[in-house]
Amino acid sequence: MSAVIILLKPDCMERRLWGTALEFLQTETDFKIHDSRLYHACVPTILKLVKHYAEHQGKPFYDGLMKFMVSGPILAVSGWSGNIPRLRENITLFRVKYAEGGPRNLIHCSDSPESGEREADIWFP
C-alpha cells in the first residue's frame, strides 16, 4: 500500500459533493482513509499550496490554479492505495460525472507513491 493524498477542492466543497466523493472513494476504489483535515484560505494554507504545486510554478495555468484553490475550503484526506494508477482512473470517472472542467475538477489525487509521501509531509506534518 502506498501513501496517497486526496484534496477535495473548493468546487467540490462549494457544490456539497464532498460526501459523495468520500463515499465514492470508499466504495468504488481501494483507497483507505487514514485522516482528514479541513483547510480554509489563510496564510498557512496558501504556503501549503505553494509547496504542493511548486512543480507548476511558472506554467501558464499556475496563477489561475492558485486563485481557484484559495477561493474556498479544501478537505485534505490522507490514506493508502494498493494501485495508484487504478485509483486515478476511478477519480477520472468521478470527474467526468460531476466536474465542470478546467481547474474545477473537484479532486486532486497523488500521482505516485513518491508524490503521496511528499504531499503527506505538506498536508499532514
The CATH number of residue 38's host domain is 3.30.70.141
Residue 117's pLDDT is: 97
For the cut 80, the answer to whether the pLDDT of residue 89 exceeds it is: yes
Q: What is the pTM of this model?
A: 0.93
Band of residue 36 on the pLDDT scale cut at 50, 70, 90: very high
108 labelled catalytic: yes
Total domain count for the chain? 1
Residue 103's pLDDT is: 74
Report the Cα–Cα distance between both ends of the chain, in Å, rounded.
20
Residue 84's pLDDT is: 96
What would the mean pLDDT of 47-57 be, rounded to a whole number? 96
One DSSP character per residue, 6-55 reads EEE-HHHHHTT-HHHHHHHHHHHS--EEEEEEEE-SSHHHHHHHHHHTGG
> Catalytic pick from 34, 52, 56, 108?
108
Query: Do residues 81 and 87 touch, judged by C-beta distance below 8 A?
Result: yes
For the cut 80, the answer to whether the pLDDT of residue 33 exceeds it is: yes
What would the mean pLDDT of 50-66 be, rounded to a whole number? 95
Number of residues assigned to the chain: 125
Band of residue 68 on the pLDDT scale cut at 50, 70, 90: very high
What would the mean pLDDT of 25-34 be, rounded to a whole number? 95
Write out the residue range of the structural domain in which residue 74 sits: 2-107+116-123
